[in-house]
Structures are given as structure tokens and as C-alpha cells.
Structure 1
């Protein structure tokens, strides 16, 4: 996939490429308690992301996707968007100087209501097939929107504990 015009002459290589973030959401439960949901994101290259979810209802999920990136403010703000096999729409804004992640997730009804079935690793054909089945539950308007902010607790380059991917592997 060619580099998008929004990345040409940008600070993508300096700001995003091969960057690995581990971040925690502090989510308010219906009971008023605060839960930590840990996520891990590796901005693999100009059109792929690799991630794992370690906390919250989606804990146990490992995935990689085709993503689009756009620079909002060079050296400061980047947006990354992708669509999952479950039908979930994801949008993430990375605030570099403030070490914050802001996300908007549009979970498909199947993904949200059957989150245990959304666990697993995309590299496993059974997990991938199950995830695609979740996308068939509900309609475009049957979505659970979740907007949250997270604090970055680790920021480094490279895969860390995430598994590298092959560019030839299919994505949605």
C-alpha cells in the first residue's frame, strides 16, 4: 500500500514508525469504582498496527490491522484509525508531549455483547473465524460507543513482547 499523501513529508518516521506504547485507561465502573484497563499498541509501519489488550472486558485479545495515519500537529498529535474483523471501528489520537491516548471505539453489537468470544489471536484461524462471526450480529446502528483517555506508562521502539507480522498476511 503506498504512503498516503497525508504522510508524505511528515514526521511519521520520527514520531510514529516502530513506536510501541503501553497505556492504561482508568475506567469508571457502573458501581463507581475505577478499573485499570491496560492496552499495548505498536505502530508497526505506515499502514499496519499490532496490538494486545491486557485489561478490561477485551483482555486476552491480540491483533494486527491495516491502519490509516494522519498527522494533526507534527511532533505532537497523530491519529490512527482501523476497522476490525468484528466490525468494530477504532480511532486513536496519540498526544506525544502529554503522553496521552484518546480513543473512540464503535464496538459492533457482537463484539461488545460477546466480548469473551472476541479474545484470542488473529494468527489462529479459529479465533479469526469467530471474530468475523461477531461482525454479523446487529446492524450499523447497534453499536456501543466508548470514548476514553489513557495515560502512557511505557514508550519505546520495537516489538517488545508483541509478535512481529508479515506484510503478506491478510487484514480486513
Structure 2
């Protein structure tokens, strides 16, 4: 089978940099985006990301329109500069694409999130935990709303407020947990 025959699929010809274990493996990041509520008042959107393995991330969202979402994804990692910059990319079952750059030295996350129309307009339906079958099925349905070009693209920078090794309050995933 050729790459891409069984979609969704991931391909990277970039070898995982040997600094992965020290720089990012098992790293848990808690970060805040400076945002505004619907009335224009300042608020924080808190995200939590655990770089679980060389091909998985686990995350929870605690603030903003997606607060209450708990998920894990198959991901790719690319080292931009060892000990300094890493890019993490994934595709969600809602059709949303995420690309995040973790800046170790500056303690920042720079992200580009291309929400599918269903995910953005159906933010309440996108809440829950992927481990619950009814949540996962509902999320998959959000990918069917709109067209590939009907996306809400959010480009933001967040300040990392805490970095540590290990799961924290997030739940690890097992081999039997569905990926998509």
C-alpha cells in the first residue's frame, strides 16, 4: 500500500532528532492565550498539552470557546532547532488541523489551528472526552459540516505558565484506544 492510500495518514521524511527524548518526550505544558470574551473583555484561554510519546499527544482545554475538551491525537514532531524549537502537528476527527511550535527558551507556544466549520460553529458539540464513544461519534459528525475550505483559522501565541515531566491530571492512553 502506498502512503496516503489509507487516510487519514501521516508522512514525514524528516528523521526524529535525537534530542527528542531530552527536549520534548513526556513534557507537559500548560499555557495561556491572551484573548477576549464576547464583550471584548480580556480573558485567558488555558490549554494543557502532554507530549505522551513520539507519535501521540494528549491535551485538555480549560478556557475559551473549546473549554471542556479532552482529547488525544496521533501527531508528528519536527525539530526546528535542538534544545530550542519543536513543531507538533496533528489532524483531529472533527477535521480540525493543528500546528504548534514549542519555543523552549522563550517559553511560548505559537499555534495555527484551522478549525473545521463544524468544530468552530459547533463548539459545544466538540466538548467531551474522546474515550467516550458518544463524544467521539459526535465529533466525527462535525467533520461533515461545511467544506474543506470553510474553516476558521486561528493564529495565536501563548505564554507557557508551567512545564514539567509526566501526565499531571491527564489520563494516559492505551494501545486499544481509538486513534481517529
Q: TM-score, normalised by structure 2?
A: 0.90
* 3-state SS of 1:126 partner: helix
Residue 165 of structure 2 corresponds to residue 157 of structure 1:
yes
* 3-state SS of 1:115 partner: coil
Deviation string, structure 1 residues 69-90 (Cα, Å, up to 9, x no partner) = 0000000000000000100000
* 3-state SS of 1:154 partner: strand
Please identify, of 139-148 and 20-29, the stretch whose mean Cα deviation from structure 2 is larger.
20-29
Q: CA RMSD in A?
A: 1.5
- Flag structure 1 segments of 5+ consecutive residues without an equivalent: none
Distance in 2 between residues matched to 1:18 and 1:30, nearest whole Å: 35
Distance in 2 between residues matched to 1:6 and 1:75, nearest whole Å: 17
Quote the offset at 1:33 in angstroms: 2.3
Deviation string, structure 1 residues 68-112 (Cα, Å, up to 9, x no partner) = 000000000000000001000000000000000000000000000
- Flag structure 2 segments of 5+ consecutive residues without an equivalent: 1-11
Quote the offset at 1:170 in angstroms: 2.3
**Correspondence for 1:168:** 176
* Contact 1:10–1:71 (Cα < 8 Å) also in 2: no
**Correspondence for 1:111:** 119
Q: TM-score, normalised by structure 1?
A: 0.94
Quote the offset at 1:35 in angstroms: 1.4
Quote the offset at 1:7 in angstroms: 4.0
* Contact 1:106–1:143 (Cα < 8 Å) also in 2: yes
Distance in 1 between residues matched to 2:17 and 2:98, nearest whole Å: 25
